[in-house]
Structure 1
Amino acid sequence: MIRAAGHEPEIVEYIQTGWGREQLTELLHVMNATAREVMRVKGTPAEELGLTDPNTADEVIFEAMLEHPILVNRPIVVTPSGTRLCRPSEAVIALLDSFPDSFTKEDGETVYRKDDAPTL
């Protein structure tokens, strides 16, 4: 969707490179989010590490994210307009300064039409 809007994203392959403590701290700060709020559970070791327990401290989740980068949900999109976890993918529209005429997901669902564009 970002490319369809005429932007070339810089993609950080954090699964391969891991997270830096400062990098992840800054992302959470600018999103005003906690580690728990961006934690991915499906397809990760979150449950077996005890991270889904509501009593697990956020700092424990954060440290686990540094050790197991897959625990961070994706994609996190950073633009001059803001930073957010873009799940579902159409959440990215609020961060774009230009828009495609329309955008249809790979599954065939149209999630954006030019006539529905937010006012800039």
Structure 2
Amino acid sequence: MRVKIYHNPRCGKSRQTLQLLQAQGVEAEVIEYLKTPPGAEELDDILQKLGMEPRDLMRKKEAVYKTSGLDDKALGRQALINGMVNNPVLIERPIVIANGKAAIGRPPEAILTIL
């Protein structure tokens, strides 16, 4: 089974989720998405696997959400995706991809449903 985790090592939930994967015997590909953000196509694919719209995956309390104008309700799907690609700090974390599905590790145990 191929598993990816979009990880931020400074985030407690992200670290807990990675530890949970390791405790399950899963060797995941760790993508530090702040250093290597997903492209627009990859992020769109992740959103589809999550069954979410872009704004649902955004960390709206980050300052850049408002300062970059991403709080504008008139923005379409592609503009919001591009906003996350350009400002990866806006992407909710951690995201785990496994078995053609995705889950957000909030709480970390939420990822167990896709393993």
* TM-score over 0.5 for the pair: yes
Distance 1:21 1:53, change over 3 A: closer
Cα distance in 2 for partners of 1:74, 1:55 equals 25
* 2:10 aligned residue: none
Q: Is the CA contact (8 Å cut-off) linking 1:44 and 1:71 kept in structure 2? A: no
Report the Cα offset of residue 44 of structure 1: 4.7
* 1:73 aligned residue: 92
Q: Is the CA contact (8 Å cut-off) linking 1:44 and 1:70 kept in structure 2? A: no
Report the Cα offset of residue 25 of structure 1: 1.5
Question: Which has the larger displacement, 59-68 or 37-46?
Answer: 37-46
Aligned length: 96
1:61 aligns with 2:100: no
Q: Normalising to structure 1: TM-score of the pair?
A: 0.69
Query: Is the partner of 1:46 in helix, strand or coil?
Result: helix
Q: Normalising to structure 2: TM-score of the pair?
A: 0.71
Question: Aligned residues: percent identity?
Answer: 31
Cα distance in 2 for partners of 1:40, 1:33 equals 14
Distance 1:4 1:20, change over 3 A: same
* 2:58 aligned residue: 39
The higher radius of gyration belongs to 1
1:6 aligns with 2:25: yes
Unaligned 5+ runs, structure 1 = 97-120
Cα distance in 2 for partners of 1:65, 1:45 equals 10
How well do the aligned residues superpose, as a CA RMSD in angstroms? 1.8
* 1:113 aligned residue: none
Amino acid at match of 1:77: V
